[in-house]
Amino acid sequence: MDALALTFSSGWASGVNAYLVVLVLGLADRFGGSEAIPDVLGRWDVLALATFLYAMEFVADKIPYVDSTWDVVSTAIRPTAGAVIGVLLAGEADTLEQAVGGVVGGGTALLSHLAKAGGRLALNSSLEPVTNVFASLAEDAAVLAVVWFSLEHPRAAAAIAGVLLLLGLVLLLVLGRLVRRGWRRWRRRAPAQPVG
C-alpha cells in the first residue's frame, strides 16, 4: 500500500514538474539510501540530466507564454514520466502491480499536468509577469514538499497530493467556465460584419 501511495504522490508531482521529481527521488536514493526508490534514479547520469532539464524548466516556467509552450511540449513527457516512475516504484512486483503503478502514476500525472497547464494559460492573460513567477515557485515548492514528505509518510503525502489534485481540477473547471462566459459576452458585443 505504501508503494501505491508513493506512486500516487510522485504521479501528481510529475504532472507539475517531472524533472524535479526525478531529481528529488534520485538524490534521496543516492544520499538517503531509501529502500523504496529504485537505484536507477540515483545514477549520476540520471541526476545530471534531471538537473539540467529542471534548470531549463525553472527558467521557462517563469516567462509568460513560454511556460504555456513548455507545457504543450510537456504534455507527452510528464504523464510518461509519471507512468515510468510508477512502474519503477513497483519494483520486483508481478506484472499486475507494475501495470497498476504505471496507470496510477501516469493517470495522476496527466490530470495534474492538465490542471497546471490550464491554470498557467489563464495566468498568461494577465499583463504582468509576477503571477507567473509566484505560481512557478509555488508549484516547485509544492512538488518538493510532497515528494520529500512522501518518502517518510507515503499515505499522508498521497492524501495531500489528492487534495491538491482535486483543488487543481476544480480551479480548472471554474476558470474554464469564466473563460466561456467571457467569450460569450465578447461575441455578443462584437459588431456584425457586413456581408458583401
Domain ranges of the chain: 2-186
Residue type, 46: V
According to the model, what pLDDT value does residue 23 have? 95
For the stretch 63-96, pLDDT in tens is 888 888 898 888 889 998 888 888 888 776 667 7
According to the model, what pLDDT value does residue 193 have? 61
Distance between CA atoms of residues 94 and 129, nearest Å: 48
Q: Are 151 and 32 in contact (CB under 8 A)?
A: yes
Count CB-CB contacts under 10 A for residue 29. Answer: 22
Distance between CA atoms of residues 98 and 119, nearest Å: 31
Q: Is the pTM of this model over 0.75?
A: yes
Per-residue cell: 136:
512557478
For the stretch 28-68, pLDDT in tens is 998 987 778 888 999 999 999 999 999 999 999 888 888 88
Q: Are 7 and 160 in contact (CB under 8 A)?
A: no
